[in-house]
Structure 1
């Protein structure tokens, strides 16, 4: 029996990448996984799609596309799951953010992506506050262990799993 036995997870972007890896790990740990993806051959993980470009020349369409596909999806999926989490007596929301939310990347222009993932991080903090009375925790990261009972005291965290890159000047 795994650490997530008896839990239910909805994971977006399960066709490939991080979403697929997360679904497989959750299932191996005993979770009943419900997954979705817009394209089973997609290279985007966690229902993410982005269009980056230099700040001064990024088109409005590219900005809106990235916000829609990285922030809006996280918001609306979580909003739809909220009544079910409340009815179950609580649960854990795990959103995938990015180091781009807290640090600029001089080697690659990522303003739309960084803004969207910054929104995901901020949204998770607000979910932490809104969910607390219902025993719903919210975190941002890319690791399944934060949904286990072993992490019951982890709430409102924005953990960067990036090999220490976010801690180093670049």
Structure 2
């Protein structure tokens, strides 16, 4: 029980990596605050946790709205009395080169992927600072380190999240708060599957192309990222601070011959 006695708030945990992480954290003893913009998906995650014997509540909130975030943090603290772990997982994608990206899409992706991290962290940090303890995990991406076709706004936000993570760690280390980033590669989630079906004439061909970027020859699974998040959330990573943790199948630093 690597998170026994801890309370974890996970944004965007109604599906995909967030849901998988919520289930794993609960299995490891955490009280989980499940957040999603979709109340239905958030409740579905909580139901799965409770069916497995875990403890969780669902809070519907839009991480781009300060009032929603304030309400979410207040309810989490009222329910469990503390927040030990914040996983800023909520995020969306945006496809297109700069000249193809509309202003509306740019603003939408920036709001969720970057402003959402800022607002939720801002809401939780005073509590962690008062307790002189806490762990924050920010969801970046390997595209923060590599070039990837038609991902202008997505890459911009994930690069910003990585830079923000490092800056936050300097600011909050005196309060015994650790801040680290996860940098996944392409993970086979329902979102990615739907994206492939809707964006390519031949989804299988597109999937084969993506697989070639991975040294292992396949895409990651949500469980791969959830396990990395568990390490960062646990006391086992007590000396890991301001660090990017790559979960990308070798896409960042490897190259097939």
Q: Distance in 2 between matches of 1:162 and 1:70?
A: 19
Q: TM-score, normalised by structure 1?
A: 0.91
Q: Distance in 2 between matches of 1:11 and 1:96?
A: 11
Q: 1:56 to 1:169 in 2, by over 3 A?
A: farther
Q: Does 1:120 align with 2:161?
A: yes
Give 1:41 shift: 4.4
Give 1:47 shift: 2.0
Q: How many residues align?
A: 165
Q: Distance in 1 between matches of 2:21 and 2:127?
A: 21
Q: Distance in 2 between matches of 1:74 and 1:35?
A: 16
Q: Which residue of 2 aligns with 1:70?
A: 113
Q: Distance in 2 between matches of 1:33 and 1:87?
A: 21
Structure 2 counterpart SS, 1:94: strand
Q: Does 1:133 align with 2:219?
A: no
Q: Which residue of 2 aligns with 1:167?
A: 253
Q: Which residue of 2 aligns with 1:84?
A: 127
Q: Which runs of 4+ in 1 moved over 2 A?
A: none
Give 1:168 shift: 2.1
Gaps of 5+ in 1: none
Q: Which residue of 1 aligns with 2:92?
A: 49
Structure 2 counterpart SS, 1:63: helix
Q: Distance in 1 between matches of 2:3 and 2:130?
A: 19
Give 1:83 shift: 1.0
Give 1:169 shift: 4.2
Query: Larger Cα Rg: Structure 1 or Structure 2?
Result: 2
Task: Please state which structure has a larger fraction of its residues in helix.
Answer: 2
